[in-house]
Every structure is written in C-alpha cells, then in structure tokens.
Structure 1
C-alpha cells in the first residue's frame, strides 16, 4: 500500500465515481482502476461495490476510508512543514467564518491582516457553524470561527469574542416599548431564523428546548439583510448579534431578561499541523480582538 493508491482511493470515495476521480486527479482512468485493483489484491479485500454508474464502499472499504483520511492528512501536514522549513511556501490561510461574523465583524480584521502580511494568500469560506466544523475536521479548512459551546474534542480553539444576542423587533412592535424581553415572550412571537446548522439557530433551538416550547417559525433564511427587512415590515422578530443591528434606526434591539451571550472561537484540528501562515492569523486575531 502506498500514498498514491490511497489518494486514488480517497478521491473515488469523495466523488463517488471511478470516472470523475481521474478527471480531478488529472490522470488516465485506466491508471486509477489498475491502482485500485492492485490495492485490493494486496489487501486481499474488496473495497468497493460496483454499480451501474455509482460506487459504494464495502464494510472493509469503510474501515480503510477512516485510516486513509488520517494518513493522507498527516502526509500533507508533513509536506507543508518541510516546505516551510526550506522556505518554499509563500503561505496560505483557509478560514471559515459564519455569515453574521463575516458581514459585521471580520472585514476590517481581514483587511488589516492582509496589510500586515501582503505575501500570504487568504481564502475565506462562509458557512454555518456545523458545516464549518465538519469542513475543519475533514481538513477542507485550516481554521474556522465557531461557537465555543459546541466545540468537539478533536478541535483546539481560543476565544476571540464574547457577544450578546439581542432580541430584534420593528420600531412599531409592542415589545419595542419594553426594556427587556423574557424567553417566554420571545417564543410567543412568530420568528425569522437562520436555517439549521448556524449558531444563531442552534442558540434559539437550545433556548426553546430549555423553555419547553416549540418555536413558531415564519421565515428561514441565512441572508441577514432579508431577516432585517422582514422584521422591519412586521412579519416577525428575531435574535441577532448586537453588532448586526448597531446603528440601524428602523430596528429596536433589546436584551433578554436574562442576558444571552455567545463565546466565539478560532478553532483548528488538535492533531493537525498549524502552518506558519495559520499561526500568524491566529496570533493576529488574538492581538486584535
């Protein structure tokens, strides 16, 4: 078994196709098929169930998939570290950021980072907390901003921000006359929420479970301008980070009677290699938050 065979195996599983994998790998299809046959012969196991146009893993293939991901990530980490020691890498950062943070908190930080490190490549991916966490665990991201409360043991993280979640209503809404909003009163209203998988939605779902109520959800969208527009027109209320509603005269934001805070972290794989570029980004965040 060698790394080449494992990479072919990995791409076939990831793409679910013996046809698409060679295209991504930029090699001839027969070479991939031959390598997999040799791998199966060497292991004396069948790794794939072949169907008309699709492939699926056998039970033995599932076990190899777990090891292949770890082995290939370790090989990539080793190659990157060796390149950095030789000074061959210009440096790249792949960081995942949730939509609310990306819209209202990170733009000036990202620009300041690029100003300090103009030679580093910076790729920003937007997604929900759950999606970013999975991408991080699968090495599709180097870093991700996620909610500390939901941090799995496979990840290491540092807190970068504590932010209050505010109840957001239209100026004409009856709740706008109050100084605080109770959880009970919040869930009496029709809500405008992010889709499942975003920390905003996880928070609301947790609050509802603790209160023993079923939220009345009128709209689901991850577009913050649309959420705010729906609230302004009186079709629901929501809860957003304070930064998302600052300086908006058409909205009123109120604290919960018992204030709700979120701790946001910059996270990375605990057993992965944190490159110099990624370490520079983490250090920069901690210095500037």
Structure 2
C-alpha cells in the first residue's frame, strides 16, 4: 500500500467516478484502476462494486475510506509541520550573552546581521551570566551563547573570539592613581557578584598579589558597577568593555592589575541549530579572524 494508491482510491470514492478521479490526480484512468485493483488484491477484499453508475463503494470500501482519509490528513499535517520547521530553521535564532556585550556589541552585531543575510529572521536574545548560558545550552534553550570562560564541560564547545583586559574605574573627582596595591586595598571596592566567573578571576588575582580588597558592594555587570562608581560609592575592578566611555568614570590601568578575560562563543557539541543561527555564528567567527581576536570587543 502506497500513499499514491490511497490518494487515488480516495479521489475515486469521493468523486464517484474513475475518470474524474484520474483527471484530478493527473494520471490516466487505466493507471488509476490498476492501482485500485492492487489495493484490493493486497487486502483480499473488493473496494468498489461493479456498477454502471461509476465508482460505488462496497461495505469494505466505506470502512477503508475512513481510515484512508485519516492517513492522508495525518500526512498533510506532517508535511505542514515540516514546512513550519523549515521556515523556523531559516528564520529563527536563539542567543544568550553576558551583560558586558549588551551595550554596544550585540546591538551592532544583530543590526548588521538583520540588514544583510539575516533579513526576516526572528531573533530571541537573553542577557545572563556565563554559567547560566551554559546551562541553557545543555537544556537546548539557546542555539549558542557569548560569554566568559566556564569550567571545561564535555557538552559545551568554547571558542575564544575576543580579549578584554582588566581595568579600574574611579570617580572623575578621585585623585588616586592606585599604582600601589596598598592604596587599592584601602579603597571601597565594587566587585562582581560572587557567583560570576569574573569574581573568581579577580579573586585569584588578588590572592596572587596578596591583596585583601575592601569589598563593600557587589554589582550585576560592568555597567552596573560603573554607575555605582559614578555616584562615588567606591572604585571598580572590571573587564574593559566597549561602551565604558559613556560613563562619567576614569579608566585606569595600574601595572599590578594584569590579565583579563576572553569572550567565548559557546555552543553545544552535538545539538543541531537553525540555519540562521549557523550564519550568525559564521559572521562572529569571521569578524574574529579579521581582527585576530585581540581587541576588547569581537
């Protein structure tokens, strides 16, 4: 039994004519009749009774017609589902990124993508810490993410795309240079939240330099820390991201504050993503190749 045989049978049964059915399904009448006879031979029953009135169903034919129509309906529904998936595959992207990219890089990236190869794409984006991005990738909620390095994970591939060095943020009226780590340790510090990768990175640096900072506030992101620094609530140790220039802060690079972080493109090693998501990833990696990944932004 094939879909074509079922379709030919349904056409004849619904139209009550083998000739009209053959015309509707675009085959010859003898070919349609042969297909129906093959069905009858396979089932061992007669589906149409001999009649000069045309295609008249037997009792078996009436029973089979209900099932045959259900089969064709389900086949059409399956085809619709696949068409919808194909459209989504070409036109949907789910991306997550850290707050350090939210002010400038992500808006520019998505605008350029939408204006060029991503026209018509529907983009879902979320801002969150890198650890949460990784969890979302494991659960299949995102096509890919952009964030700080996470501990090695067999499910997550991490590709470095940019370097952001560490810096200090101070209020514009603050005369301090903080070249001396002791001066830094005496100042009120605004740092990242303790559950963020950047907090772990800075803690390792402070321990290596034997610095015990006086942390009074924990910020949500570089922008949140910069806004607190603007208000004179302390100084901030952050990654130097694109967009810091819009805040009323001084950006310092004392000699002892070395190192920084890479921004990574994070993706699941085995899970398939949409065509649109693959194109956006290719754009990001192409930009990295162009600038060598050495700048503060991808």
TM-score relative to the length of structure 2: 0.60
Match of 1:237 in 2: 235
Shift of residue 149, structure 1, vs aligned partner = 5.9
Looking at structure 1, the residues matched to 255 and 205 of structure 2 have their Cα atoms a distance apart, in angstroms, of 13
SS of equivalent residue, structure 1 residue 148: coil
Structure 1 residues 83-232: aligned runs within 5 Å = 83=82, 87-89=86-88, 90-116=90-116, 117-148=118-149, 150-176=151-177, 181=179, 185-222=183-220, 224-232=222-230
Number of aligned pairs? 206
Looking at structure 1, the residues matched to 206 and 97 of structure 2 have their Cα atoms a distance apart, in angstroms, of 25
Looking at structure 1, the residues matched to 216 and 200 of structure 2 have their Cα atoms a distance apart, in angstroms, of 17
Match of 2:262 in 1: 263
Say which one has the larger Rg: 2
Does 1:274 find its partner at 2:259? no
> 1:183, 1:207 within 8 Å by CA — same for their partners in 2?
no
Superposed CA RMSD: 3.0
Deviations 1:214-237 (A, max 9, x none): 442211231555422321333211
Shift of residue 141, structure 1, vs aligned partner = 1.7
> 1:131, 1:197 within 8 Å by CA — same for their partners in 2?
no
> Residue 277 and residue 245 in structure 1: after superposition, are their counterparts in 2 closer, same or farther (change >3 A)?
closer
Stretches of structure 1 lacking an aligned partner (at least 5 in a row): 1-78
Looking at structure 2, the residues matched to 93 and 214 of structure 1 have their Cα atoms a distance apart, in angstroms, of 43
Stretches of structure 2 lacking an aligned partner (at least 5 in a row): 1-77, 288-297
Shift of residue 136, structure 1, vs aligned partner = 1.5
